[in-house]
Amino acid sequence: MCLNNFNEIRERIIDQLVSMGIVSDEYVIKALKTVPREEFVPDNLRKYAYLDQPLPIGYGQTISAIHMVAIMTQELKPRPGNRVLEIGTGSGYQAAVLAEIVAKMDPEKKGRVYTIERIPALAEYARRNLEKTGYIDYVEVVVGDGTLGYRDAAPYDGIIVTAGAPDVPKPLIEQLRDGGKLVIPVGNRFIQRLLIVEKQGDRLIKRWSIECVFVPLIGKYGWRE
């Protein structure tokens, strides 16, 4: 396999995820085939960008595996025009995948992604990655404790948390619009399960999905450092 032909490799790995039944949403497939993951990993790991596994991005953090981004994005079901909040910016890759769907596919609908990262140097790294790939105009990168959400742009059509939480942070539920969806890994520090929460008026409809392993969500409504 030629590791320099990233477009071909990207296309092939996403087709594999489709044939394995892991992803079927047309918007998600198109976004994953469009966003250049190789631009969101450190230079020395570019040749591994399409290995379907988490890769280190510094500060003890990781960019999630491709199938995990596919599954979480599909569970969230973003659509053009949506306003989406991500907690855990990391490399900015998941934010770019969301921005491709909610904003870049149909800019007139004015969708937007807000993403919060607690480590300032990673927020800066993500901003640079989003800038060089042309997504920065659709994404606001905020430094802070994402377990508090981001009230300035609430309510959100969807909220995605890309770090493992002990429970669902209350502010995130408050900042979901009626009919909105939250996707979050919940469990202990070592293993979690994806939880999908839909807000319907005063009711929360919860569904558990697959097991997963994420770095811890650290903050007021997360784990202690």
Q: Site mask, ligand SAM, residues 40-79, x = CB under 6 A?
A: ---------------------xxxx---------------
Judged by CB, which is closer to ligand SAM: 64, or 192? Answer: 64
Q: Are 29 and 66 in contact (CB under 8 A)?
A: no
- Token code pair at residue 114: 């807000």
Q: Which residue among 66, 139, 163, 212 contacts ligand SAM (CB under 6 A)?
A: 163
Measuring CA to CA, how many Å separate 147 from each of 54, 68, 152, 183? 22, 21, 14, 13
Active site residue 19: no
What is the rounded distance in angstroms from the CA atom of residue 208 to the CA atom of residue 193? 7
Q: Judged by CB under 6 A, does residue 175 bind ligand SAM? A: no
Is 105 exposed, middle or buried (CB count within 10 Å of its CB: 0-12, 13-18, 19+)? Answer: middle
Site residue total, ligand SAM (CB under 6 A): 26
C-beta of 117: minimal distance to ligand SAM in Å? 5
> What is the dihedral sign for C-alpha 216, 211, 177, 204?
negative
Q: Judged by CB under 6 A, does residue 98 bind ligand SAM? A: no
C-beta of 163: minimal distance to ligand SAM in Å? 4
- Token code pair at residue 42: 């450190």
- Return the H-helix or E-strand segment holding 132: helix 120-132
C-beta of 147: minimal distance to ligand SAM in Å? 5
C-beta of 55: minimal distance to ligand SAM in Å? 9
Q: Judged by CB under 6 A, does residue 222 bind ligand SAM? A: yes
Choose the stretch contacting ligand SAM; rule: CB under 6 A; options: 144-152, 177-185, 194-202, 205-213.
Answer: 144-152
Q: Judged by CB under 6 A, does residue 93 bind ligand SAM? A: yes
Q: Judged by CB under 6 A, does residue 219 bind ligand SAM? A: yes
Q: Judged by CB under 6 A, does residue 149 bind ligand SAM? A: no
Residue (of 48, 82, 91, 217) closest to 146 by Cα position: 217
Strands 192-200 and 55-58 come out as: unpaired
